[in-house]
Structure 1
Amino acid sequence: TGNLDSHTGERISDLLFELNKESGTTLVLVTHDERLAHRCRRLIRLEAGLMVAPLEP
């Protein structure tokens, strides 16, 4: 969504989270946007290509 205007990006993000909730599927989201990341139930941070301890949103 980074290449979209903020309004459209937010609508797409909302749609992804809604579909995730309704279908009960896994959503893998890769982002640099901390605000968007904190909408997720589980966060995993990568540093220097390595996974560091999972974080609570």
Structure 2
Amino acid sequence: IILADEPTGNLDSKTSVEIMGLFQEIHAKGNTIILVTHEEDIAKYAHRIVRLKDGRIESDERNHDIKTHEGISLSLDN
């Protein structure tokens, strides 16, 4: 399991996309990644998005339109 707290927070957009590509490669090898971000475009790389507000779960949803590091979206059914 990899825990990543704001891994792209102080990075430019190009480097952020590269970092997310690395996370996708790591995940493809069977590793779980838990990522914290305030950036909606970064959250779109996740299979599941849990939004917190004031320490409580505001929403918990499966992402059906996963972004890839090439900028192409992958649609998931069900």
> TM-score, normalised on structure 2?
0.63
5+ residue gaps, structure 1, are: none
Greater per-residue strand proportion: 2
Aligned-residue offset at 1:56 = 2.6
Q: Match for 2:18 among 11, 24, 38?
A: 11
Runs of 4 or more consecutive aligned structure 1 residues displaced over 4 Å after TM superposition = none
Two-structure CA RMSD over aligned residues (Å): 1.3
> TM-score, normalised on structure 1?
0.81
Highest relative contact order (Cα 8 Å, sep 6+), 1 or 2?
2
Count of residues paired in the alignment:
56
